[in-house]
């Protein structure tokens, strides 16, 4: 009987050992296959996802918000001209500047007083112009009140596209016009008005301008400002589609506001009845001095 018990004991121990070995084998085999006891977490390959399209932020900036996510990325990093104005100019309130409320001297006002959203880059108060020297003592931007009224409309129109007018020059004292004309090489004088009745900048009724986005980045144009070449012509067709569209948008904004464009200079606009105005030779210092004197009670 004792022998039988010993036999049974050995038998059961043998059985248990065999099971343990079996399990161990399954475990080792499971290195490359699913395990029955401790399943190896299966690694599910990530679903194949197309990389997100790289968005052209500036293009998005101008794009009307229609929730459209399928628009392919634009290849260019330069801002594209929106095809149509954004109604309400992203909620910009209508401009309501009261021109009669700002300081006026000989019908000239400082456009900065209007707080209209213009960007001023008065080139002739710096050496960053085609002459290479400053013509003005200060970077004031004076304009006749009649032109100022029109420029408010133009800026309001530009704001509908979320754009801003960049103003390079408006009123130019007649003496500065004379200096400019004399310093201009004879072969380029077709681009500079002779001092006198035909010069509209000294009347304060002509403006040189461009367009920028809301952050102040200039929109590319077919030529630089004051580039006296055929590329400056309003009919030049050799620019990129974007440059041409920007130029035409500027021309549309300005002419719809009531100005006429110079055929050879996409940046130059004047009132249609410029002959009704007279040139002035009030210096910027004089304007500032009179203003200061009048502000003293």
- The CB-of-269 to Zn ion minimum distance in angstroms stands at 8
Helices 241-257 and 145-160: crossing angle in degrees, nearest 10, is 130
- The CB-of-197 to Zn ion minimum distance in angstroms stands at 16
User: What are residue 237's phi and psi, to 5 degrees?
Assistant: -110, 10
- The CB-of-67 to Zn ion minimum distance in angstroms stands at 43
User: With CB under 5 A as the contact rule, which of the stretches 176-184, 227-235, 243-251, 264-272 interacts with Zn ion?
Assistant: 264-272
Judged by CB under 5 A, the chain residues 208 through 227 that form the site for Zn ion are 208
User: With CB under 5 A as the contact rule, which of the stretches 137-145, 148-156, 218-226, 260-268 interacts with Zn ion?
Assistant: 260-268
CB nearer to Zn ion: give 247 or 268.
268
CA distances for 186 relative to 32, 189, 191, 233, angstroms: 88, 5, 10, 19
- The CB-of-107 to Zn ion minimum distance in angstroms stands at 19
User: With CB under 5 A as the contact rule, which of the stretches 47-55, 77-85, 171-179, 263-271 interacts with Zn ion?
Assistant: 263-271
- The CB-of-238 to Zn ion minimum distance in angstroms stands at 22
CB nearer to Zn ion: give 28 or 194.
194
CA distances for 13 relative to 5, 6, 21, 24, 237, angstroms: 12, 11, 12, 17, 98
Beta-bridged to residue 218, according to DSSP, are 212
CA distances for 38 relative to 28, 31, 42, 181, 277, angstroms: 11, 11, 12, 92, 95
User: Interface with Zn ion includes 157 (CB under 5 A)?
Assistant: no
User: With CB under 5 A as the contact rule, which of the stretches 4-12, 124-132, 136-144, 268-276 interacts with Zn ion?
Assistant: 268-276
User: Interface with Zn ion includes 268 (CB under 5 A)?
Assistant: yes
Q: Are 135 and 179 in contact (CB under 8 A)?
A: yes
CB nearer to Zn ion: give 56 or 155.
155
Token reading at 185: 């090489």
- The CB-of-141 to Zn ion minimum distance in angstroms stands at 13
Torsion angle of C-alpha atoms 263, 264, 268, 271, degrees rounded to 10: -30
Token reading at 157: 């129109």
CB nearer to Zn ion: give 80 or 192.
192
d(CA 103, CA 296): 13
Give contact residues for Zn ion (rule: CB under 5 A): 208, 268
């Amino acid at each position: 009987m004792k022998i039988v018990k010993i036999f049974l004991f050995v038998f059961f121990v043998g059985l248990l050992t065999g099971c343990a070995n079996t399990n161990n084998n399954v475990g080792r085999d499971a290195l490359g296959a699913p395990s029955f006891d401790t399943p190896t977490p299966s690694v599910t390959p990530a679903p194949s996802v197309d990389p997100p399209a790289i968005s052209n932020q500036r293009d998005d900036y101008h794009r009307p918000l229609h929730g459209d996510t399928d628009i392919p990325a634009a290849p260019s990093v330069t801002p594209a001209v929106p095809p149509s104005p954004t109604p309400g100019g992203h909620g910009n309130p209508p401009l309501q500047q009261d021109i009669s409320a700002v300081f006026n001297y000989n019908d000239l006002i400082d456009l900065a007083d209007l707080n209209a959203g213009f960007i001023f880059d008065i080139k002739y108060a710096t050496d960053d112009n085609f002459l290479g020297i400053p013509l003005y003592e200060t970077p004031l931007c004076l304009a006749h009140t009649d032109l100022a009224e029109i420029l408010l409309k133009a800026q309001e129109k530009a704001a509908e596209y979320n754009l801003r007018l960049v103003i390079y020059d408006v009123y130019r004292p007649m003496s500065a016009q004379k200096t400019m004309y004399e310093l201009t090489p004879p072969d380029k004088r077709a681009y500079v008005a002779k001092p006198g009745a035909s010069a509209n900048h000294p009347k304060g009724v002509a403006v040189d301008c461009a367009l920028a986005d809301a952050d102040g980045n200039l929109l590319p144009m077919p030529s630089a400002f004051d580039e006296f070449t055929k590329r400056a012509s309003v009919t030049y067709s050799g620019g990129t589609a974007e440059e041409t569209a920007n130029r035409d948008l500027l021309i549309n904004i300005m002419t719809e506001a009531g100005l006429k464009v110079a055929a050879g200079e996409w940046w130059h606009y004047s009132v249609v009845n410029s002959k009704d105005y007279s040139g002035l030779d009030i210096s910027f210092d004089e304007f500032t001095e009179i203003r200061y004197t009048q502000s003293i009670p």
